[in-house]
Amino acid sequence: HPVPVVAAQAAQATVVLRDLQGNQVGMARFTDTGDGKVLIQADVVHLPPGFHGFHVHATGTCDPATNFNSAGGHFQKPGENNPHGDHSGDLPSLYVNADGSGVLTSTTDRFTLEDLFAEGQRALIVHADKDNFAHIPDRYGVTLDETTLNTGDAGGRIACGVIQRS
C-alpha cells in the first residue's frame, strides 16, 4: 500500500540516545498525528533489562560529565507546575528485554511538537530504575519524599539525547 501523503508530510522530531560513555543505545521519533497528539516511537539496545523511567526533560543538553543532570528536570509546559506523574514530559515506562533491546510506541496529548521547541530544546532521558509515577497509596502510611514527588524514584540517568527537528 502506498504511504498516505499526509503521513509523509507529518511534522517530526528525532533523538539519538547515547549512554554515559557516548555509545549510541537507541533512537526515538516524535510525530505530530494531526489530531493534537504526538506519537512517540523508541527503539533501544544495550541497556539493562527491566523497566526504566522514560521522560522528556526541560533542557536540551546531554553532558555525560554531569551524569546527564544538564538536562534539568522533567519538562513542563510554561505555566504548569504539576507533580511527577502529571508532568508534561512524563511518558510510559520503557521496558528493556533480557537481551538489552526494547521498543516503545505511545501517544500523548500532554505536549505538541511545537511545545518541545518553545523556549529552547528538550532532551529525552532513560533512567536507571523503574518509575512509580509518584504513586504510593495512602494505605502504606508513608509521606512521599522529594525524590518520589519529583522523579518517581526512577533513579540515575543512563541515556540521553537532544530532541531535534527533522
Q: What is the rounded distance in angstroms from the CA atom of residue 124 to the CA atom of residue 58?
A: 9
The reported pLDDT for the residue numbered 140 is 72
Q: What is the rounded distance in angstroms from the CA atom of residue 138 to the CA atom of residue 155?
A: 22
> What does the CA dihedral 30, 104, 90, 77 come to, rounded to 10 degrees?
10
Reduced 3-state DSSP string for 26-43: EEEEEEECCCCCEEEEEE
Query: Which set of grid coordinates corresponds to residue 104?
Result: 516503545
Q: What is the rounded distance in angstroms from the CA atom of residue 29 to the CA atom of residue 126?
A: 14
* Model confidence, pTM: 0.87
Q: What is the rounded distance in angstroms from the CA atom of residue 67 to the CA atom of residue 100?
A: 21
- Full pLDDT tens readout for the chain, 166 residues: 444 444 445 789 999 999 999 999 999 999 999 999 999 999 999 999 999 999 999 999 999 999 999 999 999 988 887 766 678 899 999 999 999 999 999 999 999 999 999 989 999 999 998 987 676 667 777 776 666 665 666 788 999 999 999 8
**Mode of pairing for the β-strands spanning 24-32 and 38-44:** antiparallel
